[in-house]
Amino acid sequence: MVDRTTGRASYALDPYQVSLSFAARQAAGGEDWFGPLSPIAPTAPANVAGRQWDYPAGYNLALEPRPYSPVSFATLRQLADGWDLLRLVIETRKDQIARLAWSIKPRAGGGKPDARCAAITAFFARPDGIHGWADWLRLLLEELLVIDAPALYYRRTRGGRLAALLPIDGATIKPVIDAWGRTPQPGTADGKVVWPTAYQQVLKGFPAVDYTTRDLVYRPRNVRVNRAYGYSPVEQVVTTVNIALRRQLFLLEYFTEGNIPDSLIGVPEGWTPDQIASYQKYWDAYFSGESGRRRRAKFVPGAAAQSFVQTKEPELKSAFDDWLARLVCFAFSISPQALVSQMNRATAEVQKTLAEEEGLAPLLAWVKALIDDVIAAELDGADLEFAWTPTETIDPAQQETILSSYTSRGILTLNEARAALGREPLADRAADTPMALTGAGYVGLTANATATKPAR
């Protein structure tokens, strides 16, 4: 047999050019005939498991916040300030929350309020040391509703205790993510707690300050698994706001400049363009500065009097405007009753109830969760909680019926009913005793109580 490789160069095979197979069937079974086949073997290391989202490589190297979003923080703020109806809705929602009363109390089953409750209440009466609670909360809600990037900086004493909660412009905060796409959490090294950088503040276009989760509270409300930033109500209606701004600009130009005359008046067919321009100049000069002349009838010659055209005024408010108002109110879960055409009473009450349940309650829960976290982590109050004080508006006639029923059945004392009305208690001891109304008058329900005639 002749050796065909004699006198020829030979090369060793690279290991990657060799593939081996074993136990392979020559003919595919029924289950493998045009089957799905086995998946390609994973190429990532095993510890990549659990990565939250497929973020861009080098995500933390971006200089500006919100680098991969088509809508910037500045644009969202311009939209919120540019459309007056949207701004009114935002301010209304802020007013509704800021006016509510609140308290610090032990959690359920925790006993009565103690000195810590009073101290924490005093702290949140002026959380940043500058603004009162209502003004401070409005600052926070503005960031929440417009850009969904509320941020609070922990200012501490020399001993490390919390001294103030300072609001920070959320548009300057850039969240940092770890290898799994989440906010870096503290760990231990050599027996010490290590706080990694979790946020960067960008000032003048450069990373200026690094913050850890111990330095800064960054609390978007509407978070999504594939984004590091929140999704505010304003961003959800960006297209609608753009349409509304152009609609508003159209109306503004109608009242300022406009290109549609009030009427068109014909001239004789034989007039030249120069004659028409000359007469137009005379006409405009005649009425200029004399508002009274504009409303008086004028005599015009011949055929001109038969060729008068009254132009149609544009519709300044239509169903489309109602639709825009309803849409933006729906985004903020506010009743559109004050902004749209007439609404019957039943519909208005339903809209008001839905607005409170769907819009106000979630925001109140967000504020409560934020304050509870601060109390537990920074103010030694894990067993305490922030609570909103119910402020239900009751119809006076309905309230009278309820209180009368409770006092006549002995469920409430007379003084308890007076306290519910905000009135001073009566000095008579019987007013502090539960009594039932009988045919003979009020009868005390305790052994030592005395019967008393109903007051006239």
C-alpha span between 421 and 414 (Å, rounded): 11
Q: For residue 308, what are the domain limits?
A: 261-286+302-313
340 assigned to some structural domain:
no
374 assigned to some structural domain:
no
Q: Which of 179, 197, 202 is nearest to 66 (CA)?
A: 202
427 assigned to some structural domain:
yes
Cβ-based neighbour number of residue 143 at 10 Å: 25
Q: Per the structure, how many domains does the chain have?
A: 3
130 assigned to some structural domain:
yes
Task: For the full predicted model, state whether its pTM sits above 0.75.
Answer: no
β-sheet bridge partners, residue 201: 173, 209
210 assigned to some structural domain:
yes
159 assigned to some structural domain:
yes
439 assigned to some structural domain:
yes
C-alpha span between 324 and 330 (Å, rounded): 10
Cβ-based neighbour number of residue 373 at 10 Å: 13
Q: Which helix (H) or strand (E) holds 175?
A: strand 173-175
Alpha helices in 318-360 (DSSP H): 319-331, 345-355
Indicate if 121 and 177 belong to the same structural domain.
yes
Q: What pLDDT was estimated at residue 453?
A: 47
Indicate if 199 and 307 belong to the same structural domain.
no
Tokens 């067993």 belong to residue: 383
Indicate if 266 and 228 belong to the same structural domain.
no
Phi-psi region of 60 (alpha: psi -120 to 50; beta: other; left: phi over 0): alpha
Q: What pLDDT was estimated at residue 117?
A: 93
Indicate if 185 and 308 belong to the same structural domain.
no
Indicate if 205 and 132 belong to the same structural domain.
yes
C-alpha span between 132 and 127 (Å, rounded): 7
Q: What pLDDT was estimated at residue 389?
A: 86
Indicate if 81 and 230 belong to the same structural domain.
yes
What tokens were used for 184? 């870096």
Q: What is the pLDDT along the chain (456 residues), one digit of tens a residue?
A: 566 666 666 667 666 566 655 555 555 567 778 888 888 998 999 889 999 999 999 999 999 999 999 999 999 999 999 999 999 999 999 999 999 999 999 987 767 888 999 999 999 999 999 999 999 999 999 999 999 999 999 999 999 999 999 999 999 999 999 999 999 999 998 889 999 999 999 999 999 999 999 999 999 999 999 999 999 999 999 999 999 999 888 888 777 766 666 667 777 778 888 988 898 888 778 777 665 655 555 555 555 555 655 555 666 777 888 889 889 988 998 887 776 665 566 566 666 666 666 678 899 999 999 999 999 999 998 999 999 987 665 667 777 788 888 888 788 888 888 877 767 778 888 788 888 877 777 777 764 544 444 444
3-state DSSP helix/strand/coil % of the chain, to nearest 5: 40, 15, 45
Maximal C-alpha separation, the chain: 134
